Amino acid sequence: MKAANYLIIASISLIPFGSCQSQQAPKKQEVTNAEKSQIEHLTSVTFKQKVFDYSKSKEWKFAGDKPCIIDFYATWCGPCKIMAPTVDQIAKEYKGKINVYKVDVDDQKELANVFGVSGIPSVLFCPASSKPQMSTGLISKSDFDKRIKDFLKVSL
């Protein structure tokens, strides 16, 4: 009799209960696709083309056509996850006025090293005509707006 009870319990544990998760997966994919249209993830190659080719010169020469913000982050970083919706919002609000990029520091170690990123999140603010400034730690939406207006010289 006891063996039969174990068999029933074992059989019940094999019943799939996760069907709701598979229905939610497309929503997550849609968000990811929407984010990709607003924010470009840079590699060292695309960074050199769109922001600054650090392999050719140590002297900062911005390669972009408009100011940009570069979010150095990691997928496992709690503060990076907290700040991500703000970065997404900035990209949407300032679309066409500034470029917003992301760099995964685990994936792009060379870029993290070149810019001395030792803490994340770190955000590089790159104006069109002067040297960039790095900020480390969480940045609020109002602080982003202030830096974009005051340092990047861009307003909504």
pLDDT for residue 28 is more than 90: no
pLDDT for residue 1 is more than 90: no
Q: What is the mean pLDDT of the chain?
A: 82
* Alpha-carbon gap, residue 24 to 74, rounded angstroms: 24
Q: Contact at 8 Å (CB) between 133 and 143?
A: no
Q: Contact at 8 Å (CB) between 67 and 126?
A: yes
Task: Give the residue extent of every domain in the chain.
Answer: 40-150
The 122-126 sheet, strands edge to edge: 40-41, 99-104, 68-73, 122-126, 133-136
pLDDT of res. 111: 93
Query: Which residues are known catalytic residues?
Result: 77, 80
Percent of the chain residues past pLDDT 70, beyond the cut: 76
User: Residues 96, 46, 133, CA angle at the centre, nearest 5°?
Assistant: 65
pLDDT of res. 36: 47
- Per-residue pLDDT band for 64 (boundaries 50, 70, 90) equals very high
Homologous superfamily of 40-150: Glutaredoxin (3.40.30.10)
What pTM did the predictor assign? 0.75
